[in-house]
Amino acid sequence: MKYFLIILFTTLSFSLFSQQMAEHDMVFMKDGSVFAGELRAYEEKSIKFVMGDVLATILKKDISKIVLKGQTLQAPSPTKNIAPEITDFIRSGFYNITYGSLNSGADAFQGDVVSGLGISNITGKQLNKYLGIGLGISYNAMYVGAGENLMPIFIDVRGYLKEKKVSPYYNIGMGYNFTFKNEEKQIVDSKGGIMLRPAVGFKIGSAESSFLIDLGFNFSKADFTRDYSWETRENKMTYRRLELRVGLLL
């Protein structure tokens, strides 16, 4: 009976291990450790390996062998790729994006084309390829030198259309513009308003880091009260600006 239990336990353990090997990529280390997860990238001297929510970098020189869902590879050379390149182009989980922007539109009073500058940062979570949700903050000079500066806090929604190095993406920002007084520019009072910014663009790079470029339409509202020497005037501004952004996803 004792030997039967030992054989039964060994058989069940081997069966569970075999099932794990069939469902996961396996990394066997030279020190005897075994990791189960997903191989994300096979680089010159290391691999990127996901175990649960952890993305680990493992040096090839420490690896005995790699099993890709049952397909065994020989011990990898530290400088030579012996596996097909595996690269994850869409980041799953948390992301951070920093953008610089240039906006342009017609002046509200004379109709002349005016330009503004901005910077924004967004932190969020990519739920799947098509949907990510985050929270962002920007600082936008809508009319450089005029003191009409907005600081929107907004919800960021984005998604990618392809799992390739170059992928089109959509993005929608929705939030509220906070404003500031600027007595040097005669702005003695200000009031914020809504912000809406739909955009389309391209992501270029891998899941670890990517270059982003998009073109959107920035619709923003704000009120600025200016105290001129001859009168005090409240200007209710509605900005309709084309906005070009370039950014880095990390």
Tokens standing for residue 194: 């809504």
**DSSP string over 25-77:** EEEEETTS-EEEEEEEEE-SSEEEEEETTEEEEEEGGGEEEEEETTEEEPPPP
Residue 206 — φ and ψ, nearest 5°? Answer: -100, -175
Task: Tell me the β-bridge partners of 172.
Answer: 157, 198
| Closest C-alpha among 226, 142, 235 to residue 187 | 226
Rounded Cα–Cα distance for residues 9 and 17 (Å): 12
| pLDDT recorded at residue 110 | 59
Rounded Cα–Cα distance for residues 188 and 199 (Å): 33
| Closest C-alpha among 129, 122, 43 to residue 78 | 43
Rounded Cα–Cα distance for residues 242 and 121 (Å): 19
Residue spans of the domains in the chain: they are 2-73, 93-249
Q: Which CATH code is given to the segment(s) 2-73?
A: 2.30.30.100
Residue pLDDT, tens place only, 214-241: 999 999 999 999 888 788 888 898 999 9
Question: How does pLDDT run along the chain (250 residues), one tens digit per residue?
Answer: 554 444 444 444 444 444 444 467 888 888 888 888 888 887 778 888 888 778 888 898 888 888 876 555 555 555 455 454 445 677 778 999 999 999 998 765 556 788 899 999 999 999 988 999 999 999 999 888 888 899 999 999 999 998 888 999 999 999 999 998 888 888 899 999 999 999 999 999 887 889 999 999 999 999 999 888 788 888 898 999 999 999 999 8
Query: How many C-beta atoms surround the C-beta of residue 3 within 10 A?
Result: 7
| pLDDT recorded at residue 88 | 64
This prediction's pTM: 0.65
The burial of 154, by beta-carbon neighbours within 10 Å (0-12 exposed, 13-18 middle, 19 or more buried), is given as buried
Q: Which CATH code is given to the segment(s) 93-249?
A: 2.40.160.20
Residue 194: CA count within 13 A, CB half-sphere: 4
